[in-house]
Structure 1
């Protein structure tokens, strides 16, 4: 399990000294994975733990507080995505006024390396004391984004850590591997393309909340999840797979959006799990959007809606069938 560290200050020595990959890593897509793989190779060669340095909230949320929801994953999802990559620690640094106002030199010195004079009486220090950093070719950091990969390399030489700059990685077929490309695919409802970039299906994780329970009246009980700060996928109906708290993964069909027949104040993910009868209220589930089936529609009453839901369920079962 990946250990999550939420500050760079007042750390015990045992949480310092890693080889790290640095970046926002929203989505942990295949391009991110290449940067992390580079850090992993160095970590193994020098006998250091492998770490990832990221930020919460995403810096974009700090600088653009009114921006539309854009996140591709929660911190918990990020930690799970990093585990199979061999990551030991996720340094999820709190991004606020202090980090936003740091110069690139201060970030390298105070956060990545650590001022040697900061040792406390109980043997704790500020700074991660990294031994090596891997960054992407377009990595920027520091106030005004003045820091560059080459700048970090020079600062690392002065501060005692190495730096590897990873070139852009694209799919052999020309698929762009970036968070923006994932968002474009999700916005278009092209879930296979999003999955090809991510290396896994896009998934929404959240607590199951009480809805109006209208679905129960037509034999379609749903687990309802708010979208929060997730990027808004194309509104409509999806074939899905959901991971329950007990580890079970169940197929289903889901409506995502504002329900034009029964208008909602905010978009909602409503998941009907096939062959499931249980109470999920208050529990956290993760729902993979496997395929977009159709857009939102309005129907002439509940009977017509039920007919369409049954058709959607058949389509979802077909898509999710192992033989598909």
Structure 2
């Protein structure tokens, strides 16, 4: 998947008369939950439906998402404390998993927000992205003062020859609409399993590993401590079963029509070149995760996110950006009367985490064996 961070990075051939064009959707896609996925799946499907030609000469529009950074709410209401469900890095990873060919990340500012709806459609959808079709949810809003909506998009689509498809409400089996707000409310209560059901995957925090008090190391439970600038909605205080995710984005690359993507089951040629999926190389390690101020000790005044990787005493993660996926809430933060009851509880947390994640219960770690 290609990622474009400005209109100038979008290939000019995309919107050319002989170019492949695109099927576009527009939104913040915070969390990329099941409702978003329904729209994204339809974008990919529509792009394939619009393919022309046969064999290696088969050409189709690119499946493209247009998203924004920063979040519009951060621009219009900077005084509000509002954390994104996922970092931009993880948002892009989820968009790639949906099968998109490209994402345009637009820098959202007051100048961009001041565009009239028609200007947005003509400049960005038709001009920059060469859109042949647009797929959006029925709650779409765009343009100055959010004046553009689904009805407006249909009208201007008919006027300019743009195919517009509006998807109706996408809901859970109980009839509740999938939404980012619903995810946030679950996380505020520590309901990470419920949040995962809405997202379609475990909720993930992302941050850089920093030096902490090193107390876990001294107790035989070394932890990776995330810095204060952790990205993502940090759920309610408590101990969770989860995964520590190490990974990085591969190098952007293009491949020719004769690449592996053109084989059986691969994507059709996208004009002269085909976009190769970039992919993320990841390593997922089972972890017991603590979120809170650690009431047993008096020198932890701020909330922290700490992940103890089960059975590992050799991981040197300092300075590395990692993800922490939260699978299930185990218990609240507790104040213990001394180290012995704390250690008993931590061993129970590790055993319960291993059981939930389906991995062997590790043996104890001696403090002197910790090498990182």
TM-score normalised by L of structure 1: 0.89
Match of residue 286 from structure 2: 251
| 2:272 corresponds to | none
Cα separation, 1, equivalents of 2:83 and 2:138: 23
- Give how far 1:264 is off: 4.2
- Asked if 1:321 is matched to 2:358, the reply is yes
Q: How does 1:18-167 map to 2 (within 5 A)?
A: 18-46=22-50, 47-114=60-127, 127-167=128-168
Q: Which residue of 2 aligns with 1:6?
A: 5
- In structure 2, the partner of 1:272 is 308
Report what 2:368 is aligned to: none
Distance 1:228 1:65, change over 3 A: farther
The size of the alignment, in residue pairs, is: 310
Deviation at residue 37 of structure 1 after TM alignment: 1.6
| TM-aligned CA deviation for residue 293 of structure 1 | 0.8
Structure 1 unmatched runs, 5+:
115-126
- Deviation of the 1:322 alpha carbon: 6.3
Range moving further from structure 2, 69-78 or 225-234: 225-234
- The superposition leaves residues 118-171 of structure 1 with CA deviations (integer Å, 9 ceiling, x where unpaired) of xxxxxxxxx222221111111111121111011112222333322111100112
**Which stretch of structure 1 is more off in the superposition, 77-86 or 231-240?**
77-86
What CA deviation, in whole Å up to 9, does each residue of 1:215-259 have, x standing for no partner?
A: 111111111113535223111110011222373211110111233
Q: How far apart are the structure 2 equivalents of 1:228 and 1:3?
A: 26
Q: 1: CA distance between counterparts of 2:308 and 2:37? A: 33
Structure 2 Cα separation of the partners of residues 113 and 258 of structure 1: 51
Q: How do residues 94-243 of structure 1 correspond to structure 2 at under 5 angstroms? A: 94-114=107-127, 127-226=128-227, 228-243=230-245
Q: Deviations over 1:63-117 (max 9, x none)?
A: 1212223211112111211223210101111101221222222211222222xxx
The DSSP-based 3-state class of the residue aligned with 1:135 is strand
Aligned-residue offset at 1:9: 4.3
Q: What is the alpha-carbon distance in structure 2 between the residues aligned to residue 11 and residue 248 of structure 1? A: 32
- 144-153 vs 255-264, greater mean Cα deviation: 255-264
Counterparts of 2:311 and 2:9, CA distance in 1: 50
3-state SS of paired residue (1:155): helix
Secondary structure of the residue aligned to 1:152 is helix
**CA apart distance, 1:294:** 1.2
Structure 2: gaps (5+ residues): 16-20, 51-59, 248-280, 361-372
The separation in 2 between residues aligned to 1:228 and 1:176, in whole angstroms, is: 28
The residue aligned with 1:123 is none
- Measure, in 1, the Cα distance between the counterparts of 2:3 and 2:221: 38
Distance between the aligned counterparts of 1:86 and 1:312, measured in 2?
A: 37
Pick closer, same or farther for the CA change 1:14–1:271 going to 2, 3 Å: farther
Instruction: Output the aligned Cα RMSD.
Output: 2.0
TM-score (ref. length: structure 2)? 0.78
1:236 touches 1:294 (CA, 8 Å); kept in 2? yes
Distance in 2 of aligned mates of 1:102 and 1:148: 14
> After the TM superposition, which of the residue ranges 5-14 and 308-317 deviates more from structure 2?
5-14
Contact 1:176–1:197, Cα closer than 8 Å, also in 2: no
For the 8 Å contact 1:69–1:230, the answer to whether it is kept is: no
